[in-house]
Structure 1
Amino acid sequence: MFGQTLSVLLAGLIASHLVGSWIYSMDRSQIVRAVGGAVIAQRITNLSRLVQDASDDWRARIVAALSDETFKVALAAEPPRTSVTDADAPAADALRQLLTEQLSTGGSGAPLVSVSQPRGIMVGLAQRMMDQHPMMQGFGGMGPLAGFREMQVAVPLQDGQWLVYSTVLPDSGGAFSLRFLISMGVMVFITLLVAIWVVRRVTTPLTALGQAAQRLGEDLNAPPMPETGTVETRQAAHAFNAMQSRLRRMIEDRSQMLAAISHDFRTPLTLLRLRAENVDDPIERERMLSTIADLDAMVAATLAFASDGESRAPHRRTDLTALIASIVDDMADGGLPVRMDEAQPIVLECDPASLKRALTNLIDNAVNYGGSAVVAISNSARGIEIAIDDCGPGIPEAELSHVFEPLYRLESSRSRETGGMGLGLAIAQSIVRAHDGQLTLVNRSEGGLCALIVLPASRF
């Protein structure tokens, strides 16, 4: 969001600046040409009156003295043949009207004016004007001649001769000059700094809200968000803290209810166990005691699963390899077919008690349903991988998406010895998710099932 918002602001700013610069350049071009034309028209008017009032002997001398490299003046018997393009017609008409008014001429004696791109000798003339007049260096930003127009003016004299002037008319040039690019770069830099500060100020509360939501997913008793900042930020933080409080109360109420149910169940179960002991038929007595034990185990497993969402112990650095080795050794000492592949020590910041419970559930499943368990731990590109393989029949592909559901059992009987409570995998998955990990079950190609735990490397 930070990058997108910043990009949109900069794109809009640059686009508006370019359009504004183009409009300003067009307006400036008209002003510069109007002022330049007025100055040249005034000079032509004064020189024409001077030549008109001079005697025939002095005209040639005056014309020769007035002419220079940037302002050519000559006497001609006929006016020069020129053509005006549609683009240059407005400028030529404006100059012709101005000269006509100042020279008080009209009709067939009106001056002839043409404005066009510089050609031939006028190209060098325009370049020399730029070199000689520093004030004109800013014109023609898209090239040394782009800001000029060649102008020819033929003024009729009373004796039938024509006084011909040749010069160049300055224009404002292109909008994208070096100064413009420098000013735009400075503007973009300053605006970028301000935009970064503003956008960061706006998006920081959203980042804090996301981090708070992540903490809430890991620990329901995480500290509440600070209710600071703008009005909207305070409202969002207050709503989030209220939601966290409601969730905490809901979980606490559920746990208290289940604990009360469990406590209330224990009393009748104990009474039933005592009465079952007094049954004379040993077979019936064993069946009743077995059913009571199933009920007791079911209540305990359900309470353990329900209380799993409550606050957990603080995470601490733990050698996972040693933790798994201790579980395997304990089971192997009990006569279970469990072994562990050799592995290097791998340290993880975690809750060792809950992880031990999840691993024990998975290894128990491998032994009970697969006949044996082989545990391996390693580092990979995805993180820490813990694989628990067995040699059993595996799980049908259609059932792999359901085995993590609470109280779901593949074994159809109601026997605790064969079907279990259906909560082992659900509890293990909940614990792994609390560590930002992932638990998946995959049927092995050589037979059996692989329970794979992947814990993120960020917790190393």
Structure 2
Amino acid sequence: MRFWPRSLLGQMLLAVALVLLLAQAISAALLWQAAEARREAAVLNAAAFAFIVRGEPRNEGDGRWRGQGPRRHLIDRFTRPLRIERTDSFAPRPGDDIDPERAEALRAVVEDQGTAVAELIVVERPIARDPYILDRPRLHRRLASGNGERRQVLVAALKRSGGDGWMVARVPIPPRQRGVIGSILLQTLVIYVLLVGLHFLLLRRITRPLAALTERTETFARTQNADGQLAPDGPHDVRRLIAAHNAMEARIAALLDEKDVMLGAIGHDLKTPLAALRVRIESVEDESERAKMAATIEDITRSLDDILSLARVGRASEPPERADLAALTAAVVEEFEDMGEPVALGPTTRIALPVHITWLRRALRNLIANAVRYAGEAEVALLRDGGRAVLRVDDRGPGIPEGRIAEMTEPFTRGEASRNRETGGAGLGLTLARAIAEQHGGDLVLVNRAGGGLRAEIRLPLQSETDSARKGAS
């Protein structure tokens, strides 16, 4: 399953969602950290308040507590310290969590208020295991109400410099604020709905005309017909793009029309005098000379037909027809067999595809004719290879030098240097086969066989079958 979407709209929305999720995660972590810092500061300030305000005598004469003490607005009802316990000795109990960091922080607060500290011990223990609280049932019931049995109490024991005993302050540690996460989740949901929804509307306005332009480009590439151009839509930049594409389409269509007119004129202007020559050579008395002249005219005519066909590939006036490729392959092989050529039909698979039947026949004939010309025989097969239909022609001829395989599909390139039709022709057969394969969204593959000979394959995509299967599954 693909996690990353393929469309621009999906990728942009997913990117916005991921960035927003990351930002909200960082925000949640910072808010949680701030809430924990406030909670910790409230506990330590409550303990300091107990030592400084409740554990110190008043100043003589002014009626005020010595020093200002910690800020009382940080001490809420959850961290209100219990009464100071005075004892001659103090030692942590088994299972207590001794916390030297809190002890250092609390020492700094107390000493900042003018109290000299000889020794300070801070531990954390469950409320249910504190003897001072257990000895006071009413206090225990109050602190242990609800989920209080799991609550902790901070026990801080302070011995002043020059003092004989210990002051023990107890501060209930408030539970962690659960509302922070809930508020963050609610905030994230609201932001997602607003931000992602707004981005969806904006991106949809951009991607809808782009999708239409893509479809229009694919249609034009298939038909070369400028009818049905898109009206400019969307943002200004997209409108300009559509307008430029329409102008380019119109220009390309005009050039192609001019080319077709020119090719028609060339075909007419050249074939007419060739036909006249063909009639005139009948008056030549020497039969050998007459045959040579006729062969030359036929050679020129076939070369002209190949050139005109190559120029017209991709300008089919009719849409592709769904055809049984196995039947098409068998029919072409039968044509060669009827002419007495050593062409054999190998394994075939039933595959139906929308194709330009006349053009595909022409491409297959060219590959078979090349194999027969250079190897004296050919074997034709139709296979399914993954997502492609493969029209394969094998021979046992000399093959093609590895360095010239790509070159052989270029126009007027032949394996044999002469221009004799019997030994090589004009060098347009493979070029035309490649152009027809590309017209169908496929390609022509040439490869030398391990046992000798050449393998030529027209590989056509089975995309239409894949789309039909997906529609059926949905």
**TM-score, structure 1 normalization:** 0.72
Aligned-partner Cα distance in 2 for 1:459–1:400:
30
Aligned-partner Cα distance in 1 for 2:349–2:58:
107
Aligned-partner Cα distance in 2 for 1:163–1:447:
102
Aligned-partner Cα distance in 2 for 1:116–1:150:
8
Indicate conservation of the 8 Å contact 1:38/1:95, yes or no.
no
Residue 436 in structure 1 maps to residue 466 in structure 2: no
Secondary structure at the counterpart of residue 118 of structure 1: strand
Instruction: For 1:219, give the aligned amino acid.
Output: T
Indicate conservation of the 8 Å contact 2:399/2:448, yes or no.
yes
Aligned-partner Cα distance in 1 for 2:364–2:329:
8
Shift of 1:404: 1.0
Matched residue, 1:24: 31
Indicate conservation of the 8 Å contact 1:255/1:307, yes or no.
yes
Match of 1:243 among 235, 238, 248: 248
Shift of 1:211: 4.8
Instruction: For 1:167, give the aligned amino acid.
Output: R
Shift of 1:348: 1.9
Deviations 1:49-81 (A, max 9, x none): 99999xxxxxxxxxxxxxxx9725334579999
Matched residue, 1:425: 430
Matched residue, 1:71: 82
Match of 1:12 among 13, 19, 24: 19
Shift of 1:306: 0.4
Match of 1:351 among 350, 356, 359: 356
Match of 1:168 among 171, 196, 199: 171
Aligned-partner Cα distance in 1 for 2:140–2:216:
66
Secondary structure at the counterpart of residue 353 of structure 1: helix
Indicate conservation of the 8 Å contact 1:92/1:113, yes or no.
no
Indicate conservation of the 8 Å contact 1:76/1:162, yes or no.
yes
Change (3 A) 1:292 1:39: same
Matched residue, 1:66: none
Gaps of 5+ in 2: 1-5, 61-79, 93-97, 466-474
Report 1:168-187 matches (<5 A). Answer: 168=171, 170=173
Paired residues, number: 422
Indicate conservation of the 8 Å contact 2:387/2:463, yes or no.
no
Shift of 1:340: 1.8
Match of 2:334 among 325, 329, 336: 329
Match of 2:268 among 263, 267, 289: 263
Change (3 A) 1:345 1:8: closer
Aligned-partner Cα distance in 2 for 1:204–1:144:
58
Secondary structure at the counterpart of residue 403 of structure 1: helix
Aligned-partner Cα distance in 1 for 2:143–2:221:
74
Matched residue, 1:103: none
Matched residue, 2:199: 198
Change (3 A) 1:80 1:392: closer
Change (3 A) 1:116 1:214: farther
Secondary structure at the counterpart of residue 390 of structure 2: strand
Instruction: For 1:314, give the aligned amino acid.
Output: P
Matched residue, 1:220: 224
Matched residue, 2:461: 456
Matched residue, 1:64: none
Using the TM superposition, name which of 450-459 and 201-210 deviates more: 201-210
Pairwise CA RMSD = 4.7
Shift of 1:305: 0.7
Secondary structure at the counterpart of residue 298 of structure 1: helix
Using the TM superposition, name which of 119-128 and 278-287 deviates more: 119-128
Aligned-partner Cα distance in 2 for 1:80–1:116:
9
Using the TM superposition, name which of 283-292 and 198-207 deviates more: 198-207
Indicate conservation of the 8 Å contact 2:50/2:84, yes or no.
no
Aligned-partner Cα distance in 2 for 1:218–1:116:
85
Instruction: For 1:247, give the aligned amino acid.
Output: I
Indicate conservation of the 8 Å contact 1:48/1:163, yes or no.
no
Aligned-partner Cα distance in 2 for 1:416–1:214:
39
Change (3 A) 1:407 1:186: farther
Indicate conservation of the 8 Å contact 2:50/2:169, yes or no.
no
Aligned-partner Cα distance in 1 for 2:340–2:125:
107
Instruction: For 1:20, give the aligned amino acid.
Output: S
Instruction: For 2:85, give the aligned amino acid.
Output: A
Change (3 A) 1:298 1:171: same
Aligned-partner Cα distance in 1 for 2:244–2:140:
69
Indicate conservation of the 8 Å contact 2:87/2:168, yes or no.
no
Change (3 A) 1:371 1:115: farther
Shift of 1:377: 1.8
